Structure 1
Amino acid sequence: MQPRHGYLDAPAPLAFAHRGGAADGDENTAAAFARAVALGYRYVETDVHATADGVPVVFHDPTLRRVTGEPGRIADLRWADLSSVRVGGATLVPRLDEVLDAWPQVRFNIDVKADGGVEPTVATVARVGASDRVLLASFSDARLT
């Protein structure tokens, strides 16, 4: 018998809203998460990078260009510099703690996109008490150890 994990304790199959339920260029935003939850999703997949001052933010790419039109790498920006940047000109780039706090009933699959995001992400998940509803993932085996 295989051990059961609380995170996956749900009737199968599990539907995940990818990048928070992205549509119309608002991937990984509060608007996308809210829409996915309103549609009945209990699981969402999202991505995290950390800013230069160690704030984990919900964002897929290492650079801002594709979804914001702004220059810059997230790892080179401080949160104060990033906090007013808008995705698709509409919604702000969210911090990970904001997203976890806003939807306490949702389970998150968080893809840590860069080495610098590992420690801030783990610390944030622990600090907000979301360890039982977060699955940390990465395409880098080294980040998972």
Structure 2
Amino acid sequence: MSLPELIAHRGYAARFPENTLVGIQAAVSAGARFVEVDVQLSADGVPVLFHDADLLRICGVPGAVHEWDFAALMRLRAAEAGRFVDRFADNPLTSLAQLAELLARHPGVTAFVEAKTEAVGLFGEQSVLEAISRTLAPVAAQCVLISFSLPLLQGAVAYQGSAGWHDLGGVVDRWEDRNEFAGLGLGWLFCDVNGLPGEGPLAFETARLAVYEVDDARQALDLVARGVAAIETFALPELRKGIVRLAGLAEE
């Protein structure tokens, strides 16, 4: 039986604030070989790990990442009070540079780094590419740059050699949207599980397929049988245990 690679989606986000150092480290400590994070730029162009279009859900303050300079963002707290109340009241936002430092300490871990379309639209693909590649340069061989943005990936294809990224990947909400990335030679394609066809094999050029967000072991194994290589999950240790149990394997 083929088993999927598991990707810690925004870190160990089921138990820790998403896209933060504490959650990513927890995922790695739990055995994650792959992590996925989202990147936006501060007002002064510094890459920060953040998913949402605004700061409210994570930090409890109005505004957006691009409206705050980096120093001010680092004074905010990524507490996710709606889920965790005050458990992570002192937990700071995480910069992309801090992720690079973590990866340097864990050379066996690969990071999928998603350049958010909000940043591309505001700063332009070249500025976003340069900011991310400059920050990740010391660990570029451990990083796969991914995005929904076709212009960014088109620019990244030409930029890839000098940037030293391990690979590039496209992200889509719906399976039928994959063809916009045709011909780019991407190593990965990510798709929302809710955007997949209900049955049949899944393949896109020579790309490896990753599906998000999945927390059910049976569903994960069914997706592997259809051609999926990797599963993104907020609860990597729990999903891994479920897969091992269904597959009848001894847990490592």
Query: When the two structures are superposed, what TM-score results if normalisation uses the length of structure 1?
Result: 0.84
Q: Structure 2 regions of 5+ residues with no counterpart?
A: 80-88, 155-252
Q: Which structure has greater helix proportion?
A: 2
Structure 1 stretches (4+) deviating beyond 6 angstroms?
A: none
2: distance between equivalents of 1:72 and 1:132? 34
Query: What is the one-letter code of the residue matched to 1:102?
Result: L
Query: Where do 1:39-58 residues align within 5 Å?
Result: 39-58=30-49
- Which SS does the other structure have where 1:130 is aligned? helix
Cα contact 1:25–1:67 (8 A) shared by 2: no
- 1:71 is matched with 62
2: distance between equivalents of 1:109 and 1:136? 6
2: distance between equivalents of 1:12 and 1:144? 29
Aligned with 1:109 (options 112, 118, 125): 112
1:12 is displaced (CA, Å) by 6.2
CA gap of 1:74–1:122, structure 2 versus 1, over 3 A, is same
1:73 is displaced (CA, Å) by 1.1
Structure with higher Rg: it is 2
Q: Structure 1 regions of 5+ residues with no counterpart?
A: 1-10
Deviation string 1:13-59 (CA, Å, 9 cap, x unpaired) is 31100011212460011110111011100110000001011110011
1:61 is displaced (CA, Å) by 1.2
Deviation string 1:53-92 (CA, Å, 9 cap, x unpaired) is 1110011113111111111111111011101111113310
Query: What is the one-letter code of the residue matched to 2:61?
Result: E
- Which SS does the other structure have where 1:86 is aligned? coil
Deviates more, 1:131-140 or 1:82-91: 82-91
Q: Which has the higher contact order (CA 8 A, sep 6+)?
A: 1
- Which SS does the other structure have where 1:103 is aligned? helix
2: distance between equivalents of 1:41 and 1:95? 20
- 2:129 is matched with 118
- 1:99 is matched with 99
Identity score, percent: 35
Cα contact 1:25–1:87 (8 A) shared by 2: no
- 1:131 is matched with 140
- Which SS does the other structure have where 1:93 is aligned? coil
Query: When the two structures are superposed, what TM-score results if normalisation uses the length of structure 2?
Result: 0.50
Query: What is the one-letter code of the residue matched to 2:47?
Result: P
- Which SS does the other structure have where 2:113 is aligned? strand
- Which SS does the other structure have where 1:15 is aligned? strand
Work out whether 1:141 is the aligned partner of 2:150.
yes
